[in-house]
Amino acid sequence: MTFRSSRYWPLLLLAAACARTPRPSTGPVNKYHDATIRQIGTAQDERNTAAILPFLTNSNPTYRREAALALASVQAPAAVPGLIPLLRDADPGVRRAAAYALGQTGDSTAVDSLRVRVLKENDGLVRRYVHEALGRTVTRHSLPELWRVEMLNDTSRAAALAWGLSRAALRGLTSPETIRRTVAVLNSPKLPGRGRLAAVVALSRTRGFDADLARLAESTLLRVAQKDRSYAVRAAAVTTLGRIAAVVPSATTAPVAAPAKAAASAGVLTRLATKDPDYRVRLSAIRALPSDAENYPASRKAVFTALNRDQPAVALTAAEWLLAHAKGESGAALAALADGNKQASVRVRAALLRAAVHHASPAARPSLLETIEKRYPTAPTVYEKGFLLEALSEDPAAFDFVRTEAFAAGQSPVGAGYALGALLTMRRSADFPAGRQADFAAAMRQALASGDVAQLGTAAEALADAKIYPEAQPADLAALRAAQAKLQLPREIEAWQGIQQALDKLTKAPKPTPSPLATAAQHPIDWVVVQGVPPGQQVRLRTSKGIILLELKPEEAPGAVASFVTLIGQHFYDNLYFHRVVPNFVAQGGDPRGDGNGSAPYNLRSEFGDLRYEEGSVGLASAGKDTESCQFFITHTPTPHLDGRYPIFAQVVGGMDVMHKLDIGDQILGVELVEQRKVEKK
């Protein structure tokens, strides 16, 4: 997730003068009307572990629970000794919060205590939290602690084990035994949907399958992909099938050399790519389709069906599959497909043009490039122009055209970012002419001198690429440092990080340089605003595709909600765009620049409340912990790998169909609180 900006401080100062905030409700109130809970929340925001620790032993279980949840956001190892005793607390809510906080901290010193709690805990929900925490804290050496007790005859214990295995797998901790255990859990009867999802996610993150283990997993995944009642489980299963079949042969086929795909998996994937009732499963199946010679014809048929008949997100995925895997397709035929399908979105047609350029013969490419370059000036939006620049990135012969657009006078940040990214894609092409290296280097120096955060980030990425710049040059290091010195923090933290990562790599720094994160004093939580947001407060997000209703989560993310509500009062989000949409993942918007590099003039501290990323969860984008600002994203599907890493501050409760239709370039027409009275802020 990326964001940042640097250009809107004067406007926001003016807007702040007339900001309006909600009047405290006379109905239900959120927990921050309690002064002690506000005190704990302030200490959390300030990352003041010492001020929170005494509340862990408070006589009131509410305050013990709130203190533990606060420490889940702080994530300080110093809190572990104080949290461990709460695993035995008489109140299950406190035990659950303590387990969550220990998992968020990720300190391996908690493993023994969590293992003991797994053995003794009788509350099913608490047990799941403890097992998840164990998965987040085990080491490769202590991995067997996850399955210390046989649990498959107990549904709730099997689900808890699934989450523990999943959290470990998301950290890259897997083994042959974790595979066997995960498959056994997935086959356990009456396992709930979330448990099944956790088990499949664990398998999807496993590397190093041998043939026997792959066959074991494949047979279960084939069943799950076709029959599971949860779309999210089916989608995750087909993704995992694609990864397994890319490496080893199927149990149902004779041994063949990788990367030939398994016939059984291939047949299931091609069928699901066109027949599954949920678009997210069809989309995932297309991504996983085999491209070897034996299976290519069937995969091609499924891809062309999706292009001609399916909705834009699936059609886009099909076009991207052709870009990566097409065999024997002429550039002219793919370009004709782009022009012939008038029902396709502009993004789909541009992706097909990109595939056409990529797969065209050398003789056919010039005419394709000419067609795209002539179409470019008439593209009605900067995003459509960006899609065409991406198409041109497939041929270095378009270098001069794209470089001109990158630095054209009056070019928008969005257009400049797309253009410079296209130059970097060209340079990474195997057929980039050696004689143009000097021109590329000059473009990167010009980008560094521009001061634009998006161009700085792309130039830094290029300079850090050893294949492009095998040796660090003093002039390049000086240019990076000069550009970094001009950045304004905290607003341009992401550009600062990109440059610093390049400097660390080029200078072979022994460890990463810490980021200069903003403190709570720079932008403290406005508790007056927080108290004015009652539980269940809804927000109407009006977009060019329709209305989406969000329900705010002030109790789990008070700082994020206060910032969002204040920005709504300033009309900050009106007429901004969704600049990033990854089908079956997220739709992201709220950037004042429109390219993913913009920001409000402040950063927030991360609030990792006890919430999970489900379909329609609304999170804050970040460049790392404690760098959140104004950009937000909405998830298309459950995304467990984001849990506890990106703050959730709202949930879609209406207009889910609209959310699924959003694409890059769709506009935020306005955002307002629903039936919430406001008064002038004093």
Would you call 675 helix, strand, or coil by DSSP?
Answer: coil
> Residue-wise over 522-555: b if at least 16 C-beta within 10 A, else e?
ebebbbebbbbbbeebbbbbbbebeebbbbbbbb
CA atoms of 291 and 512, how far apart (whole Å): 39
Q: Residue 548 above 50 pLDDT?
A: yes
Residue 656 is encoded by which pair of tokens? 């889910």
Question: Helices 399-406 and 437-450 sit at what angle, rounded to 10 degrees?
Answer: 10
**327-350: string of b/e by CB count within 10 Å (b at 16+)?**
eebebeebbebbeebeebbbbbbb
Q: Calculate the CA 408 to chain-centre distance.
A: 32
pLDDT band at 115 (very low <50, low <70, confident <90, very high): very high
User: What pLDDT score does 340 carry?
Assistant: 83
Query: CA 555, CA 246: separation in Å to the nearest integer?
Result: 45
pLDDT of residue 153: 66
Q: Does residue 17 sit in helix, strand or coil?
A: coil
Instruction: Compute CA distances 14 → 4, 171, 578, 627, 672, whole Å.
Output: 20, 45, 25, 24, 19
Measured CA to CA, the distance from residue 286 to residue 241 in angstroms comes to 12
Confidence class of residue 154 from pLDDT cuts 50, 70 and 90? confident
Q: Give me the pLDDT at residue 402, please.
A: 98
Find all residues with CB under 8 Å of 626, minimum gap 6, and list them. 517, 518, 603, 604, 605, 606
User: What are the backbone angles phi and psi of residue 576, rounded to the nearest 5°?
Assistant: -85, 180
Higher pLDDT, 582 or 27: 582
pTM: 0.93
> Between residues 253 and 498, which one has the greater pLDDT?
498
Q: What is the mean pLDDT of residues 227-254?
A: 79
**Pairwise CA distance, residues 96 & 93, whole Å:** 5
d(CA 230, CA 362): 47
CA–CA gap between residue 39 and residue 215 (Å, rounded): 55
Alpha helices in 524-655 (DSSP H): 527-531, 558-569
> Residue 94 is encoded by which pair of tokens?
């406190």
- The tokens 């799950």 sit on which residue? 224
CB of 175 within 8 A of CB of 214? no
Three-state secondary-structure class, residue 647: coil
Q: For residue 172, is it left (φ>0), alpha (ψ between -120 and 50) or beta?
A: left
pLDDT of 471:
87
Which whole number is the average pLDDT over 624-633?
97
- Return the structure tokens found at 221: 């995944």
Residue 17 in this model has a pLDDT that exceeds 80: no
DSSP 137-182: H--TTTGGGGGSS--TTSHHHHHHHHHHHHHHHHTT---HHHHHHH
pLDDT at 246: 63
Contact 586, 633 (CB under 8 A): yes
**Residue 509's pLDDT band (cuts 50, 70, 90):** very high
Flag whether pLDDT at 251 surpasses 80: no
* 269 vs 247, residue with greater confidence: 269
Helix (H) and strand (E) counts for the chain?
30, 10
Please classify residue 575 by burial: count the beta carbons closer than 10 Å to its beta carbon, then call 0-12 exposed, 13-18 middle and 19+ buried: exposed
| pLDDT tens-digit series, residues 138-148 | 999 999 999 98
- Give the Cα separation of 87 and 655 in Å (integer): 40
Q: Residue 672 pairs with which residues in a beta bridge? A: 540
Please state, in angstroms and rounded to a whole number, the distance separating the CA atoms of residues 334 and 318.
12
Residues 435-446: pLDDT tens digits?
A: 999 999 999 999
Question: Is residue 487 helix, strand or coil?
Answer: coil
Please give the Cα distance from 632 to 611 (Å, whole number): 16
Rounded to the nearest angstrom, the gap between the alpha carbon of residue 371 and the centroid of all alpha carbons in its chain is: 35
Please report the pLDDT score of residue 156 as a whole number: 85
Evaluate if residue 45 carries a pLDDT over 80.
Answer: yes
Task: Provide the token pair at 577.
Answer: 């765009």
Identify the residue with better confidence: 237 or 21.
237
Structure tokens at 224: 């799950």
Whole-number Å distance between alpha carbons of 444 and 296:
40
Backbone angles phi, psi at 183, to 5 degrees: -65, -40
Whether 461 shows a pLDDT value over 90: the answer reads: yes
Residue 598 or 2, more confident: 598
- Strand 546-552, strand 648-654: pairing: antiparallel
Q: Quick one: average pLDDT of 367-392?
A: 97
Our CA angle for 208, 212, 213, nearest 5°, is 50
The fraction of the chain above a pLDDT of 90, given in percent, is: 86
Q: Residue 19 pLDDT more than 60?
A: no
pLDDT at 2 over 60: no
Model confidence at 248: pLDDT above 60: no
Domains parsed from the chain with CATH numbers: 525-680 (2.40.100.10)
C-alpha neighbours within 13 Å on the C-beta side of residue 163: 27
pLDDT value for 341: 78
Residue 365 pLDDT > 60: yes
- pLDDT at 342 (0 to 100): 75
Residue 224: pLDDT over 90: yes
State residue 24's pLDDT score.
40
Q: Is the pLDDT of residue 178 over 50?
A: yes
- On average, the pLDDT of the chain sits at 91
For 103, the token pair is 């998992």
- Tell me the C-alpha to C-alpha distance, in Å, between residue 1 and each of 172, 345, 464, 522, 624: 20, 24, 20, 23, 9
Q: What's the longest Cα–Cα distance across the chain?
A: 79
CB neighbours of 40 closer than 8 A, spacing ≥ 6? Answer: 52, 55, 63, 66, 67, 70
- 276 Cβ contact partners less than 8 Å away, ≥ 6 residues apart: 231, 234, 282, 285
Q: Bigger pLDDT: 230 or 22?
A: 230
Contacts of 576 (CB under 8 A, 6+ apart): 589, 590, 591, 592, 594, 667, 668
- Tally Cβ neighbours within 10 Å of residue 240: 26
Beta strands in 480-631 (DSSP E): 538-543, 546-552, 576-582, 586-589, 617-620
Q: Is the pLDDT of residue 255 over 60?
A: no
pLDDT at 22 over 50: no
Is there a contact between 611 and 617 (Cβ–Cβ < 8 Å)? Answer: yes
> What confidence score (pLDDT) does residue 209 get?
81
pLDDT at 201: 96
| Least confident span in 38-52, 230-244, 258-272 | 258-272
| pLDDT value for 343 | 75
8 A C-beta contact, residue 303 and residue 269: no
Please tell me the predicted confidence (pLDDT) of residue 677: 53
Dihedrals φ, ψ of 634, to 5°? -125, 130
Which residues lie below 8 Å from residue 532, measured CB to CB, with a gap of 6+?
A: 21, 22, 23, 24, 25, 565
Question: Of the candidates 61, 14, 16, which has an alpha carbon nearest to the alpha carbon of residue 36?
Answer: 61
CA distance 54 to 63: 10
- Helix axes of 312-325 and 346-359: crossing angle, nearest 10 degrees: 10
Q: Give SS3 for 119.
A: helix
**Banded model confidence at residue 111, pLDDT cuts 50, 70, 90:** very high
Cα–Cα distance, 346 to 52 (Å, whole number): 52
